[in-house]
Structure 1
Amino acid sequence: MPVNLLATPAADLYPVAGVRWGVAEAGIRKANRKDLAVLLLDEGASVGAVFTQNRFCAAPVQICREHLAKNSGKSLGIRAMLINTGNANAGTGEDGLHRAQASCIALARELNLSPEQILPFSTGVIMEPLPHERIAAGLPAALVDAGADNWATAAEAIMTTDTVAKAFSTRITLGGVSVTITGISKGAGMIRPNMATMLGFLATDACVSQTLMAQLARELAEGSFNRVTIDGDTSTNDSFVVVATNQAKHPQITSLDSVDGQVLRAAMLRVAKLLAQAIVRDGEGATKFITVQVEGGKTAEECRQVAYAIAHSPLVKTAFFASDPNLGRILAAVGYAGIADLDQTGIDLYLDEVLVAKNGGRHADYLEADGQRVMKQSEITVRVVLGRGEAIDTVWTCDLSYDYVKINADYRS
């Protein structure tokens, strides 16, 4: 079961003017499940995206980058996105590129668009040929299904090993005008977004210059999806797309540092964080949601480096699963994080409000019963104070349970 996470009711997800979702059962890998989704954009939308930094990236990632580059500065722009589950189309070589492109061509024909106006996304098993003929055959049903209120259904259609659909929505006011922000994500394993198998789609009807979209996507990913990890594996397919449909009637945002730009960015970041944290809460076999906060670093980068060392450690993660306050494992992870001039005598370690270690050694007043009390909680904060500066950063992760091994051992069966 996911950790303190329930699917958002469809009625609580606000439609975004200029966005429609349609889903279908295409039988891509399994029968009788929604595995094909199409996102349709009205003309004039601004689009930005970030993708996996895995150099062995999937064919759809390569095609997306190419199509975004070709549409840079053009008035037509991106008009549709095509998402399939059950097959990652990664590790498929030149044939995979042809199949991804064929899927774009099929949708372009249905919509009377250029294939370059389509962005393809795939998630699922690696090194298997993409059944693009099934995708093409499923497109008419997905297009008939297309509607503005299909966000919840789309969140279900992009799931793989997820146990709950991930979708969140909010509204803000810009220039006296109501603006909607809605997003969906998927992911439960092979998660260490390093822009990750993770997909995220976040849309708003705000008016945002296309020139800002790449920056907006990077900043939102950096503050959300790039702060989560389940198993430390950066997927071949990770993609995060941000859309502004430019249909809200407020002055266009041409700088993210403007008043409206800051308000919009902050609101979109709140939704992006919820989407990213939902992936961790639904981590394969997860029983606990863990916040790792590292402060007192010289730079945010070194704080993040230490946080990820803790969050990736199988020994730390299994200790949390067992509710075992074997907290020396955390200090060991801090030590091997790679901070060359780290002074261990300046390090403090907290488990929630419990001070475990002071100046690099066990705190005199620390009682293991206090540590175990915190470890039994479903939500835990690990706070490490490095004592060498003012920087701070945070990573979200989960524990590592028996079920993680079972799920991944049986993934292809």
Structure 2
Amino acid sequence: MESQGNLEAQIEVLLNVEKQMRLAGDVAGTRKARRGQLKQAVTAMVQQAMQYIDQTPDLETRIELTKTLNSVSAGKIYVEIERARLTKKLAKIKEEQGQIAEAADLMQEIAVETFGAMAKTEKIAFILEQVRLCLDRQDYVRAQILSRKISPRVFDADTSKEKKKPKEGENIVEEAPDDIPSMPELKHIYYELMIRYYSHHNDYLEICRCFMAIYEIPSVRENQEQWIPVLRKICWYLVLSPHGPMQSSLLNSTLEDKNLSEIPLFKSLLKQLVTMEVIQWTAFWEAYKDEFGNEKNLLGGSLVDKAAEDLRQRIIEHNILVVSNYYSRITLKRLADLLCLGIQEAEKHLSEMVVSKALVAKIDRPMGVVCFQVAKDSNEILNSWAMNLEKLLDLVEKSCHQIHKETMVNKAVLKV
């Protein structure tokens, strides 16, 4: 009929056939007829049309087709996955055109965490794309909110224990597309994005923990060319992190890593930080200046802009902690000499550590003396006095016992 040019008659016949199939509930037949009364027909239509996007003759047609399919799938829960994929394609086009803000706004309209039928890896990949676009537009608050939708524990979950076949009544989870990365790759991408976020805030300890998570990925641990740059970053950010219980714990655990022997200079770096000895900044910087500069050419990129300045700050803080362990009272002049600083600068760094509660100290400015002794409250003083008194009485009792014993022995000898 089509070859004879009788198109209207053909359409009439097709409509009659479609009506019969629709009334009979024939899903397969209705899909072929492309009628919108059945959900399955709409889904099949959208999926079929999505295959034509990459075959469009020009960019304008591709954008129009993507927008049309987006509007068709809007508000329909049974094509929510297709709508998410269409939005991702449209956002990619916007990004290629340099419209980062528009691409980020498009992606944020979709909340894939509520999609029960979407594969876990595809959900994570979509959220990571949202985070990346927010970081590209420097919207760090929204990037943090979106990143919290992903629990880091999901990357370490045992996939072999997951249910393969859904029970009756449960949603069937679709297979992820071929271009979606695997879970270890997604873990790598996630922590790289979080490093970008924490670098904006100069949160060295969190950056270090992100690199530690990357270091534990099997593909990284098996390749020396990958884990050496990551381990170097871990060492640098441990040194840059402010002193505290978490930093101290990570520092000691990293020192126990056998791979650290492959980079002896960095093993020496960490040992200096755990050894209670004053570090001379000039000699220290001469020893590590070249390695510090080489970081920008290695995997993971260069250190943050303030890193060199903060490194000197951490060495000064380490030296102050060392002095506080060896001295209960010290003059400001002597403290400044040990730190290789001026008196005012030494007082400034000491005051900052006291304010941040990294150290307990008092400065007597008229006398020019620093006291590192912790002030005791009345209960501690009373307990100390009671303990000392108990020791004194115990000593007196033992002495009396010894005197009495000697007296009895002497009496016995005289009687004999």
Class of the TM-score when normalised by the shorter of the 2 chains: under 0.3
Bigger fraction of residues in strand: 1
Report the TM-score, using the length of structure 2 for normalisation: 0.27
Structure with larger Rg: 2
Structure possessing the higher relative contact order (Cα contacts under 8 Å, 6 or more residues apart): 1
Report the TM-score, using the length of structure 1 for normalisation: 0.27
